[in-house]
Chains A and B, each alone.
Chain A
Amino acid sequence: MSTTDVVGTGAVYDRGYRPYEGPRGRRGAATFALYKASIRRALGLRRSWRQKVAPFVLLGVVTIPAIVNVGIGYVTRNELFRDRIAIITYREYVGVSSALLLFVALVAPDVVCPDRRQHVLPLMFARPLTGFDYVVAKVGAIATILFAFSFGPQVVLFVGNMLVSNDALRYFTDHLDIVWKVPLAVAILALYYAVIGVSVASLTNRRIVAGASVIGLFLVTSISSGVIVGEEFKFGGGSLAALINVLALPLYLRDLVFLGHIDPESPLNGVNGGGFFAVLTYLVVLLAGVAVLLYRYREVEK
């Protein structure tokens, strides 16, 4: 290695320049690179330990019910009434994953707001990357983590229940439907929260405002929905106003996946075509979120 004085006392290590002659990807490779970088950022990888605390504590919290459930199953494995002891079902566990909303409020702003606030977007769009690719990478990263954090505990629950059962193979064959219902319901939930979280966060370049807006959106809509629907739904007097609650919306779809119909205990109980309207509203919210994202990240000015 040699050193060259560029000017005066300034020394620059000069190892020369080698052109790159290896394989080179285009949009797909760039999108995947951004997706990986966003996942690393969301999980706090290659960042200080403080950035790692929130995601992994949350992962621990959503896994606790599975561990407790399996533990009780193990302790009571020889009891006659053990089949009646089930702290949480697979369907209910998807609902527990809605606690990951906190994760979305924390992480979605962190993966998109600094790009705009620190003017990194022009650098990204100077690469073989479009606004659409950017949206796919960012939403994909958040959705992937949400899926993993929701699906992982379900796997723990399923495998644990299988192992503490009297006949593991029989438990597996008896619960084959779970093998597709859980990932489908969890994917519906993960995609929904990711699109809402990232689209709300895209509207501002300040993380704290974005996080508060995500929480605020869920709180305001769930309270509004609760006030309008009231308690009548328990007696079959549900209302379409239940769909205002953007927090609970994916849980209606979860019920459709697991039960094939709206849960009789849900605020949509008794509404004609409640399931259809739930799916429709879900799609409308999803499309609206994507439209906001594509507008906010259009890289070509007119």
Chain B
Amino acid sequence: MDTGPVLRLEGLTKQYGGVTALDDLTVAVPRGRIGLVGANGAGKTTTFRLLLGLARPTHGRVEVCGIDVAHDPIGVRARLGYMPEHDCLPLDQSAADVVSTFGELSGLPARAARQRASEILDLVGIDEARFRPISGFSTGMRQRTKLAQALVGDPELVLLDEPTAGLDPLGREQMLALVARLGTFGISVLMATHLLDDVQQVCDHVVMIDAGRLVVSGATDSLLERTGTVTVDVGPRRDELMARLAVTHLSANVVEGLVEVKIDGDADMDMLRDLIAELGLPLYRLSTRLTSLDEVFLRRSEVLS
């Protein structure tokens, strides 16, 4: 398999009249699960249209799976799967027919398309319902069918635009679990969303944009920095720990039943450990709290602006 960047944008700018949707975006991202993060109107959908060759950049260059989109948009589309955010399914047809037809439109022979449609619908959890008209589907089933049509052509990269939009908590978790599994199938994922929790949960690389400009791009782990706060779970005896901490120089708060202690260096950490041992408290968890992607996004956006 090609190990080069799945996506390379060089000085990418897109203007609509006087409005700049993307402003000199330069980024290269490796294969894997990539989160494209930004507020509504940040330029995520415009980026997708440029990747699919459905819009021409005002300036700059787009390369997808090693192919220059300007030179071979059809070649690029043959390697992509696309799941839009909005409703996009023919409601009077069955999921089996729709996914099979889109398999053929991706270049698969009719028989192979029907077989893959069946396999992919199984994979996304649409089984007996596949022969019913989509108009009777719930939002979750429609989202899964949309994902199935994006996967049926066996793409190298699948573009998911807000895949968890409109889903209930269970449906959201199931959709994210499916997205997380795509990486194990050798399919790269570019997931556009404004929900940073979703990205933090399934993506191993994050590209953040704001008002069409690149905020930050990097591996998810590398962006989650240590905060200098330690989270301690001692169960219901947290008040004893708080009372003991009050007579030390360590400042502490109770947040959602957990004790969060500000520490500065290894000496403070050792002191905290010794206090817990001295009080004979049960220790269920002692961990360094990391910044969330929300904090990274807000901080970097402020720096940029």
Contact = CB atoms under 8 A, between A and B. Distances in A.
Contacts of B109: 22-23, 25, 29
A7 B181 CA distance: 13
Contacts of B91: 118
A123 B86 CA distance: 11
Nearest to B175: A6
A301 B127 contact: no
Given A22-B108, A26-B107, A127 B170 contact: no
Contact of A7 (B89, B170, B185): B170
8 contacts: A7-B174, A12-B174, A24-B107, A27-B74, A46-B97, A122-B82, A128-B105, A301-B49
B160 interface: no
A129 B120 CA distance: 22
A23 B77 CA distance: 16
A15 B119 contact: yes
Contacts, number: 140
A29 B107 contact: yes
A12 B125 contact: yes
B102 A128 contact: no
B220 interface: no
Contacts of A301: 49, 54-56
A302 B56 contact: yes
B177 interface: yes
A296 to B, nearest CB: 15
Given A6-B174, A6-B177, A26-B74, A13 B125 contact: yes
A30 B104 contact: yes
Contact of B54 (A15, A18, A22, A126): A126
B216 interface: no
A75 B100 CA distance: 51
A132 B116 CA distance: 27
Given A118-B91, A127-B102, A30 B122 contact: no
Among B55, B75, B92, the most chain A Cβ lie within 10 Å of the Cβ of: B92
B177 A7 contact: yes
Interface of A: 6-20, 22-27, 29-30, 33-34, 36-37, 46-47, 114-115, 118-120, 122-130, 299-302
Interface string B93-121: 10001000110111111101100100110
A24 to B, nearest CB: 4
Interface string B274-302: 00000000000000000000000000000
Contacts of A114: 90, 92
A25 B80 contact: no
Interface string B62-94: 000000000001110110111010111111110
A119 B87 contact: yes
Given A7-B177, A15-B123, A33-B101, A123 B49 contact: no
B186 A128 contact: no
Contact of A6 (B84, B108, B120, B173): B173
Contacts of B105: 30, 33-34, 124, 127-129
B107 A30 contact: yes
A123 B170 contact: no
A108 B216 CA distance: 49
Contacts of A7: 170, 173-174, 177
A123 B101 CA distance: 11
Among A26, A37, A124, the most chain B Cβ lie within 10 Å of the Cβ of: A37
Nearest to A301: B55
A10 B122 contact: no
Contacts of A10: 125, 170, 173-174
Nearest to A37: B101
Contact of A22 (B89, B97, B112, B177): B112
B43 interface: no
Among A6, A16, A127, the most chain B Cβ lie within 10 Å of the Cβ of: A127
A28 to B, nearest CB: 9
Interface string B43-64: 0000001001111100000000
B281 to A, nearest CB: 32
A283 B92 CA distance: 36
A118 B97 contact: no
A120 B54 CA distance: 14
B151 to A, nearest CB: 8
Among B81, B90, B173, B177, the most chain A Cβ lie within 10 Å of the Cβ of: B90
Contacts of B210: none
A100 B109 CA distance: 32
A125 B90 contact: no
A46 B96 CA distance: 11
Contacts of A13: 122, 125, 127
B74 A122 contact: no
A215 B154 CA distance: 43
A25 B97 CA distance: 19
Interface in B113-151: 113, 116, 119-120, 122-125, 127, 149
B78 A26 contact: yes
Nearest to B173: A7
